[in-house]
Chains A and B, each alone.
Chain A
Amino acid sequence: MTFLQTLKMKAGFGTDGLTKRKTVTFGDTSAVADGRMWSILSVFVLSVAWYMGSALELVNPIFWPAPSAVWEQFTYISQEGYRNFSLWEHIWASLYRILVGFALGCLIGIPLGFAMGLSQLMRGWFDPIVEFFRPIPPLAFIPLVIIWSGIGERSKILLLFFAALWIMVIAARAGVGSVKLSKIHAAYSLGATRKQILYYVILPNSLPEIFTGMRVAMGICWGTVVAAELVAAESGVGFMIMAASKFLATDIVVLGVIIVGLIGYAIDILMRKLEAKLIPWKGKA
Chain B
Amino acid sequence: MKKERWIPLAVIAVFLLVWQLGWQFEWVPRYMLPSPVMVVQAFVSDFPLLMTHAGVTMLEAFIGLAAGVLLGFMCAAMMDTFPKVRAGLYPILVLTQTIPPVAIAPLLILWFSYGMTPKIILVVLVAFFPMAVGLMEGFQAADADMIRMMRSMKASRWQIFWYVKFPNALGEFYSGLRIAVAYSIVGAVIAEWLGGFNGLGVYMTRVKKSLAYDKMFAVIFLVSAISLVLMGLVRMLQKKTMPWNYLKDTEEYKRRTRNEEF
Q: Do A and B bind each other?
A: no
Residues of B within 8 A of A (CB): none
Residues of A within 8 A of B (CB): none
